Copies of this chain bind each other. A is one copy, B any other.
Amino acid sequence: MSGYDIKKIVDVGLSHFWNENYGQIYPTLDRLVRDGLASKKPDRNSGKRQRFVYTITSAGKKSLNDWVKAATDAPVVRNEVLLKFFLCSHASTGKCIRLIESHQMEQRAILSEYQASEAILKNAMQGGDMGEDLQAILTITGSTPKQRAKQLRAFYLTLRHGIRAIEGRLAWCEEALASLECSDTTAAE
């Protein structure tokens, strides 16, 4: 596919666990071609602006396979909300509570969005109508019905991961608020 296609798929379908920008994508695709892991072909489709379609080579497939099999190094966790919470805790309990409540509201909003996407995906998996965005990215990738079914499940399961993560955060908010509220709340500002 093209660099533009990659960006679109990531933005529309994988945004809950990945992101990319053109400043990374195009130089990386160039590098892959230089290293013989992908090939670049011009593809002038129906009078549109010239685009370049990249195809994985057999060396690229091997490399991809090696990467998948290799151990995944532990992600660098940096949770700014928790850092704020930690740095607040020595001071005012009230500040901590407000911090968590605000975080809770944000997480609830994101959960709603994810649940809406989940409903669309569930429907699509049962052969129902899918939204325009989903339709568009499925058109870019898999062609056979079986491949499409696999892709839909992959989108669905990664989304479920995002939902589980948010549910965990919301459960923590409840727990933390309960713990903070049963301590002295007299500390001012």
Contacts and interface: CB of A to CB of B under 8 A. Distances in A.
A142 interface: yes
B142 A19 contact: no
A103 B106 CA distance: 28
A90 to B, nearest CB: 6
Q: How many of these chains are in the complex?
A: 2
Interface size class of A (residues with CB under 8 A): 35 or more
Contact of A179 (B90, B106, B157): B157
Nearest to A148: B90
B81 A72 contact: yes
Interface of A: 14, 16-19, 64, 67-68, 72-90, 95, 99, 103, 106, 141-142, 147, 150-151, 153-154, 157-158, 160-161, 164-165, 167-169, 171-172, 175-176, 179, 183
